[in-house]
A and B are shown apart, each in its own frame.
Chain A
Amino acid sequence: MTKNYFATGIISKSTNFGEADSIFHLITKEYGLVKAVAKSVRKPKSKLKGHLQTLNHVNAYLRKGKNLDLITQVESINSFNSIKKNLTFIAQACYMTELTESVLSEDQPSPELFDLLVSSLKFLETPKNGILLIHCFEFQLLALSGFKLMFLECVNCQKEISENSHVFSPVQGGVICPNCKKTENTKLISLNIMTLKILRNMDRENFSLLLKISPPKNIIRELSRIFDESIKELLGIKLNSQSFYQTIVKH
């Protein structure tokens, strides 16, 4: 990385710093997670202020610093205004963004993760984005992070899953067949047939089909539990935005 560099990214967080500065976290395509300071951005006449809002997709020009890099110029590509006018979309977008940031490291780019986040945020802007968008996002994020959940075969014996009473193991990261269930010691979640069908379509990457359907509440609850437990076990993280997201979804 040269002293001055360019990055395209999503603003994921900002923290006040000093009298009028702020430190921003950017999820970038080129460099992974970047933390940089914008000088005097909290003053009314700051030219950067409007562009550096949380969730904005921006082109940023930065300069390498000793401790923190400096944002010298920025322009917005997409402010996602439609998301910001809806409380549920805000909660979902914050959750997806924080989840992406939690699996990224500084100076370790993941263009696929970045593209996944941007395309998911764009999809959230569309009028009928489907309640399964979040779970499709979680499934793909886990896969890109090296934890692809398995729903087509038993994660233990690799035999093909048939329509039967199956369980899901968050620790193993997949469906366990009735045979292997007898000897499985980890926490297990029983799966409704409809939930399993949805998960198998995720494994086959039929996302455009999944985003059109609206499953009943009990199936949504089961899916939420599967992904909450998987993220906790496989990524070992607890997200700040998760409780707000769950509050809004319940309401």
Chain B
Amino acid sequence: MEPINNKIIPKPIKNLILAFSGLPGIGPKTAQRLTYFVTQKSSEEIETLSQALISVKNHIILCEVCFYIMETNPEKKSRICLICEGDRNQNQICIVENPLDVIVIENSRIYDGLYHILHGAISPMNGLGPNNLKIDSLIKRINNNIEEIIFATNPTLEGEATAMYIQELISELKTKPTITMLARGLPTGADLEYSDFSTLSNAFENRSSFNYSE
């Protein structure tokens, strides 16, 4: 028997709560709050929201080279993103787990090479293996022009396992670019008192010299 309070909730409201609940990190209470928010907004605002949602599914694709997200362009046949096409250092590839990582690195304005987005990391206990990631296409991209591969995967067990797996595949290639990894250690603003052993261990291993001023 349905609980009594469900009978008084109109079907469109129930359907929308269910739809919001399917989103990651959105529980039933948050889904209810979002649904109530939608009922308060004007039709035009909700129309804009629904068009934006549909547009993402219809007009966003992955670059066929680096797998970054890009907008479809009916005038262009190739699916190559602005980063791959742009005036950038063609000799470096920075490997990241997600498209959001590219945005963060680009905002720092510290890197001007190419990217390769894996769309995840090897997570054995969650059933994510090498076949679930864009690894094969990365290996195919590595040619004599590529001088450096920079691993910018997350400093987690999954990120490190992914980096190690790909490094082993690269070591079997005829061309052997330099392989580097983003520095590990204490993050800016960290409190040494609360640091864990792994972070401290990396910080000591990767410590840098002090240059005396003349």
Segment at the A interface, from B11-19, B62-70, B120-128: B120-128
Known: A87-B168, A244-B124. A54 touches B25 (CB 8 A): no
Q: Bits for A126-147, please: 1 = Cβ < 8 Å to B, else 0.
A: 0000000000000000000000
Q: A44 on the interface (CB 8 Å rule)?
A: yes
- Across the interface, name the chain A residue whose C-beta is closest to B196: A50
Contacting A at CB under 8 A, from B143-202, are 156-158, 160-161, 164-165, 168, 187, 189-191, 194-199, 201
A94 CA / B199 CA spacing, docked (Å) = 21
Q: B113 on the interface (CB 8 Å rule)?
A: no
Q: B24 on the interface (CB 8 Å rule)?
A: yes
Q: Chain B contact residues: over half helix, strand or loop, or mixed? A: helix
Contact of A90 among B127, B157, B190 (CB under 8 A): B157
* Chain B residues with a Cβ closer than 8 Å to the other chain, count: 28
Contact of B191 among A21, A47, A54, A97 (CB under 8 A): A47
Contact of B25 among A12, A18, A47 (CB under 8 A): A18
- Let me know if B190 and A45 touch, CB within 8 A: yes
Q: How many A-B residue pairs have CB under 8 A?
A: 79
Known: A16-B25, A45-B190, A98-B125. A51 touches B160 (CB 8 A): no
Question: What's the interface size class on A, roughly?
Answer: 35 or more
Q: Bits for A95-116, please: 1 = Cβ < 8 Å to B, else 0.
A: 1011000000000000000000
Q: B99 on the interface (CB 8 Å rule)?
A: no
Q: Which residues of B lie under 8 Å from residue A156 when comparing CB positions?
A: none
A50 CA / B201 CA spacing, docked (Å) = 12
A54 CA / B125 CA spacing, docked (Å) = 10
Q: A243 on the interface (CB 8 Å rule)?
A: yes
- Let me know if A240 and B196 touch, CB within 8 A: no
- Across the interface, name the chain A residue whose C-beta is closest to B129: A244
